[in-house]
Amino acid sequence: TTNRTFTMIKPDAVENGHIGAILEKITSAGFKIVAMKYTQLSTRDAQEFYAVHSERPFYGELVEFMSRGPIVAAILEKDNAVEDFRALIGATNPAEAAEGTIRKLFASNIAENAVHGSDSDENASIEGSFHFAGREIF
Ligand code: CMP
């Protein structure tokens, strides 16, 4: 599935009213939404989703942030999806993100950075399966 990536609109961007603007940026850039839901991660969900970061000093803060309110989770389809989506969202730290990127426009700081984008085809598949059953992907 090299033509798919997984994204979340994170709690900060939902709280700040940016769901519509972010989805507009995503679809205008040529990504097709093949799965989408409005949901909230439990503490345990967030711990599991970010298990790869469990040894990082920011892990506890990250789990608390990602579970504090609703998110939008989606699977996106486009040629070269993972790489192109990471270009669209910009650097992890919005202070370093390029002009016009989603994080430059909508992120607060390196922790509360508005959106997630998978970093590899393998993780896109794992992360998509974490949130969606096969019958929810169109
Ligand atoms: P993302 O790259 O989507 O996945 C890992 C997340 O950890 C990252 O977004 C941020 O939300 C968070 N993160 C990364 N670096 C830091 C940091 N230095 N301090 C706090 N949170 C961070």
63 alpha carbon – ligand 1 mean position (Å): 10
Residue of the CA atom closest to atom 3 of ligand 1? 116
62 alpha carbon – ligand 1 mean position (Å): 7
The two tokens of residue 76 are 């996106």
Q: Where in the sequence numbering do the catalytic residues fall? A: 116
In tens digits, the chain (138 residues) has pLDDT values of 469 999 999 999 999 999 999 999 999 999 999 999 999 999 999 999 999 999 999 999 999 999 999 999 999 999 999 999 999 999 999 999 999 999 999 999 999 999 999 999 999 999 999 999 999 999
Residue 75 to residue 26: CA distance in whole angstroms: 11
Model-level ipTM above the cut of 0.85: yes
Say yes or no: CB of residue 89 within 6 Å of ligand 1: no
Domains within the chain, CATH numbers bracketed:
4-136 (3.30.70.141)
Say yes or no: CB of residue 54 within 6 Å of ligand 1: no
Residue 85's φ and ψ, nearest 5 degrees, are: -70, -40
| Helix, strand or coil, per DSSP, at residue 133 | coil
109 alpha carbon – ligand 1 mean position (Å): 9
At residue 1, the pLDDT reads 47
Helix residue spans in the chain (DSSP H): 11-15, 19-28, 43-49, 59-66, 81-89, 102-106, 121-131
At residue 2, the pLDDT reads 64
Say yes or no: CB of residue 123 within 6 Å of ligand 1: no
Closest atom of ligand 1 to CA, residue 92: 2
Give the number of C-alpha atoms closer than 13 A to the C-alpha of residue 114, restricted to the C-beta side. Answer: 28
Q: Quick one: how many helices (H) and strands (E) in the chain?
A: 7, 4
In one-letter notation, the amino acid at residue 75 is I
